[in-house]
Structure 1
């Protein structure tokens, strides 16, 4: 009996030892698995760090290569035959009567503008204030690039005096779109046909800027005050010389570029650009959208997008149209407004592409306008401008 009891106890102790060994082995396996997982995680982190380091090296090499390419382009531009005319400060002072107040036709954020004659041609001379002018080297480089830009919907840079920050532009006889929309000086009402044409011309000029070589240009301050009209009411984008050059790698890949501070006029500034400092082509699309709404409403930009959205929802859109125009094609104007509202989406990625969506629709509306185009005699090549804003 005692022998049997001893055997039972011995077996129990053996079972306990075996269970303890199994538990110890299980714990060891778990620890081993944890160790292997930690090693794999560390190796993965190392691989990611190596990839990130390689990406940085590649990005730095790409940036260096692009900088060298830009320098080559600028060097070629400096040696090319397409050059701006360099005026001496003495010539400009004589033409403007030493920047006389009687010659002054405007004042903007960058400085005053004077109307005068140079080389028997009526011109506008913009003088950059010392606190707004860029460094001489950068100023010179931008002039070298802009002197090669030619487009019928951009104000032409005729010359400059880089040493004193003077830019010489063609004179635009009918002032700004802002003046014409709000009929300053009691000027005639812009007919809807002309408004549709102007909108398409602005879009055409803006797309040209966005496709400029060697580097795309983002205007940053697109508004009716910076759209000027010539004697035939052809619209041209102005202040291009102060636009921001965006590296092509940025423009083509992520379509945005970080700026240290937002520039532009409050109601027209892309909200994303204002909040993040990230500048892109669609920053201009937002400004264009606000301006398109003004073209058909002749209203202040403050709260305009919300006002038009609410009117469309309530079925009172026709009441938002400029009442001075008696014959609006309401259905087409509504399509125009909806396109403009898409351009003013708060999220940049939700705004339509200028080249693929916005401009084709604006061109369609321009074609419609031209089919019924009967401009009043008031708009037959006249000089309505008393001042040219900047």
Structure 2
């Protein structure tokens, strides 16, 4: 996109100071390409009517809108009490303008007129995966073929982010509520407010800014701040197990044995009963594909970071008819269930690149944590979008 080099400084200025402080030359470069005015957004959403609301996440409410040209859009509006803020808002705009892929949601633009801040996306009529997967009235719409299609599509999107995008991107919040579905139930990864760029050849670093969602976070990241592409791989593995089983990864209503999906799956695997995990609401499934997906989910969730496959290998496993999966090692369970300790990185996780500060924000099921080098305990609870 030819205007990116001019857009980013303008975006920062406009978000912080409001449109009145942007000079005329800057405004002429970006206004027709990226910025929507507040009045247009008000008219498009019927002044943010409750009837137009599609859902609500940590960022704020999402509304269906109709632009003057007849195009339908989804408008994500930053709420005043949101756990996310300017950093996440600006981050999402910057990252999504750099990326284009059929398995990533398309950002059309944003609105930044004080005090309002909004993101404008393509409209996807079927909302998010969790709306189907965890609703017994709708889960039957996700037959096995569709579920396998979603598993594969999300893998393709992550391959792009990790290996094919202009710069490597780690999403940090892969979960069912951040997978949107188009009219044919094809998946698109959304919500890049917590994503991180990995410039150059860097493959990992340590951070004190822990961000993610309860139950999906890789233990080495939740406990030590060790961030790599394998952080997304772990979250993807949890998501795959949810898609196969049709249940949430943490559900206390299922009893102690089954409450933690990853632990329960490992127990079934060790007992040679992995197909007992398959969602009983499915009229029929492909046992071979289901078993492969479960084993693949366990491979992605192994405790040892180096043992997890990268997303390119995952996609090859899913698309090959003759791929033999290795036996998974013990999954990384400790530290991901809901109480995370942030500590000074140890020698096991080198190359420290820590931020400082003492600001904590949290919203919905996701959280962001910035802290000093002093160890602190944090917890995350609540429901996702």
Question: Common fold, TM-score beyond 0.5?
Answer: yes
**Structure 1 residue 301 and structure 2 residue 258: aligned?**
no
SS state at 1:97 partner: coil
C-alpha separation between the residues in 1 aligned to 2:31 and 2:277? 47
* Range with greater deviation from structure 2 (221-230 or 79-88): 79-88
The C-alpha deviation readout for 1:49-102, integer Å capped at 9, x for no partner, is xxxxxxxxxxxxxxxxxxxxxxx9952666999984310111112222222222
SS state at 1:337 partner: helix
Q: What are the equivalent positions in structure 2 for 1:251-262 lying under 5 Å apart? A: 252-253=201-202, 255-262=203-210
Question: Which residue does 1:326 correspond to in 2?
Answer: 283
**Structure 1 residue 238 and structure 2 residue 193: aligned?**
no
Greater helix content: 1
C-alpha separation between the residues in 1 aligned to 2:77 and 2:262? 34
C-alpha separation between the residues in 2 aligned to 1:332 and 1:247? 33
Gap regions ≥5 residues in structure 2: 9-25, 251-259, 324-383
Residue in structure 2 matching 1:151, options 91, 101, 123: 101
Aligned residues: 292
Question: Which residue does 2:110 correspond to in 1?
Answer: 160
Deviation at 1:359, TM superposition (A): 0.9
C-alpha separation between the residues in 2 aligned to 1:142 and 1:323? 37
Whichever of the two has the greater Rg, that structure is: 1
C-alpha separation between the residues in 2 aligned to 1:218 and 1:84? 26
The C-alpha deviation readout for 1:337-389, integer Å capped at 9, x for no partner, is 1111010112222211111x211112237x9xxxxxxxxxxxxxxxxxxxxx8
Deviation at 1:298, TM superposition (A): 0.7
SS state at 2:215 partner: helix
What TM-score does the superposition give when structure 2 sets the normalisation length?
0.69
Residue in structure 1 matching 2:315, options 359, 373, 376: 359
C-alpha separation between the residues in 1 aligned to 2:47 and 2:169? 33
C-alpha separation between the residues in 1 aligned to 2:211 and 2:319? 29
Deviation at 1:162, TM superposition (A): 3.2
C-alpha separation between the residues in 1 aligned to 2:309 and 2:285? 25
Do the aligned partners of 2:128 and 2:176 also contact (CA within 8 Å) in 1? yes
Do the aligned partners of 2:139 and 2:246 also contact (CA within 8 Å) in 1? no
Question: Which residue does 1:39 correspond to in 2?
Answer: none
Question: Which residue does 1:108 correspond to in 2?
Answer: 57
Gap regions ≥5 residues in structure 1: 1-71, 368-388
SS state at 1:211 partner: helix
C-alpha separation between the residues in 1 aligned to 2:160 and 2:136? 30
C-alpha separation between the residues in 1 aligned to 2:109 and 2:316? 34
* Range with greater deviation from structure 2 (158-167 or 294-303): 158-167
